[in-house]
Chain A
Amino acid sequence: MATTKDGLVSALRTPTGAISTLMVAALIVLAVVAPYIWADEAARVDIPGLLEGSSSDHPLGTDNLGRDLFARLLVATRLSLTLAVLAVAVGACVGVPLGALPTVLGRRGGRAIASFIDFSLAFPSILLVIFLGVVLGVGAHAAVLAIGLSAAPSFARLTQTLAASVASSDYVAAAKVLGVPRWRILARHVLPNVAEPIILNVTLAVGFALLAMSGLSFIGLGVQAPSYDWGRLLNEALGRIYVHPETALGPAAAVVIAGLAFNSLGEALAAAASTRPAAVPRRLLREQKTPHPASVSSAVGADAAPGPALVVEDLTVSFPSRFGVITPVRGISFALSKGELLGVVGESASGKSLTALALAQLVPYPGRVSATRLEIDGHDLRTMPTTARKRLLGTSLAMVFQDPGTSLNPALRVGRQIAEVGEVHGGLGRRAAMRQAVERLRGVRMSSPARRARQYPHELSGGMRQRAMIAMGLMAEPKVVVADEPTSALDVTVQQQILQLLRKVRDDTGASAILISHDIAVVAQFCDRVLVMYAGRIVEDVEAGALHTGPAHPYTRALLASIPDMSTDRTQPLATIAGRPPDASAIPDGCAFAPRCDFATDRCREDRPDLAAVDSTWQRVACWYPRTGPVAAQNTPELVGQ
């Protein structure tokens, strides 16, 4: 999470942010110094020169006592801003505690406060200001109170919403379990974590309060003579608007400019707060174009037996970041035979999911994908025109994501969404597409498919939604199904059913599948071949059956040894791997696993091993010192580190 400081800095970098900051700063300086410089001039009565229009001495003319209006305008900055800030302070001081109360009070008290906030929000705030202004009486104090009180409900609602989400977080739950008193939870846990958006809102509110204050003064409810703010000046000048319009324009312009300055500063801060990782220097985006040195074993895929369904060579995905270009996928190459079930395993930040996204050309902006070869079913994706590529991807490649809850549109019936694929890519009519959709739902063994097709995604369970996603992928008879953690959100018994379903799809249609998972046991059981990824590279390419008999890379072996399974010796501690995977922004030069590896030498730390065949088999490993033999029985000291 970035700090407020980062947010401020990036807010200042945008043109709006920079200009509004400068304007607000200028206004504050003016408010401080103007009364010292121009107070005398603003108060000097000059009876012969009363009610004059614009002149070189008096740029905005004079008032009914001959006082210089420009000087009065500048001097009024202090009072106008002070009253606006005071009003917001009143609003925040009433609203924020009110909004925070529901998190402190019990269920019933909280509900009462929430209803009160709802109730007070129902009043239009400008009417409330005028009503309160009239009730509280005429004058600056009353106006400040009126505006403050009318701003309070929106502060209360904002605080309430933000505080509610923080209050449901696990760290607040942990504090409750420890018995931390409620007021302390509020002060230490809730308020610091909601402060940032509330402060942003304060800035916005100052702009609003300034307008409202000027409005009240203008209609005579606010500041009273002999004091004056911009609204009062506007009020006094109104009578002469047809004779000397400049006298009224001055204060009007001041109100508008100040209001705009605070509003746009608030907007800029809010924008900066909501898009934290933004503000990437252009320079970094351009640097990307330098091609990566090819480091591919050329034998890849060329002779894969029945013609590969997918060939990937030197696939690289990189993102610009504050730390320079980071490259989470670093030149990976593999080929997928027709009908093959390929597993990709790795920990977080290994690049496995980005690899899947890159295959489907779904890497989000500003990520960049490059490859020396990227072919689906013999068609090169890189050289194709965009429309043809989209069509090919739409028909030949099916993606199944981890969370079936978010990958289906909640507002559309399941059948409609599936049928749409047939209409767009299969050129089917509405009826025929729907018939095919129901057929596909039956194919993925959905119970009563016709009824399910008429239901909305939220009416289906997680497993059924995942089936629906697979059915959608099958509409276009894909050559390759890419499934990224398709069962991680599901339960083991359902997981097994979904994996069996993917197998059945392969058997029925001859499609290949790539299963991406963090769970090496799932992958080993489901797939024919497994790619093990570490820090953006493939470190081992091994037949699934050989995973437990002879993995060659120390990482694969350590990973297998560290995961408990149903035969792990319960009397011994689990083997662990010291350290943690490297951050994508700081991947070591040599073998990325070397710092955690028990067998690493200086060679490993300096010189990165390429993926190369082990002995005469087609198992490939990126290691200078590949191991042989079965992984030692679980939790023996072979790899116990730390």
Chain B
Amino acid sequence: MFRRASEAGARVSLSVDGTPIAASAGDSVAAALLAAGITVCRTTPVSGAPRAPYCMMGICFECLVTIDGVGSRQACLTRVRDGMRVETQQGKREAGR
């Protein structure tokens, strides 16, 4: 869980698995998820174990989420946008996604 030490820029609203959350304009999607108290962004394709952002710099690929319908995007490298639809990725890979 994270809190904001300083109130940043303009508010942006996005949805995560259909639930609206508020973020700050400069946030990455991964930062926005953590700030909103969403700590699990996917489960692994191998064992289904929960995973969360680990490196925040684009190397660990733990923060993969579906963004506006495109699967396995790196949430830490994607900036939030108003109206963005984020879905956490659950369970094994599905063909066609």
Whether chains A and B associate is: no
Q: Which residues of B contact A (CB under 8 A)?
A: none
Q: Which residues of A contact B (CB under 8 A)?
A: none
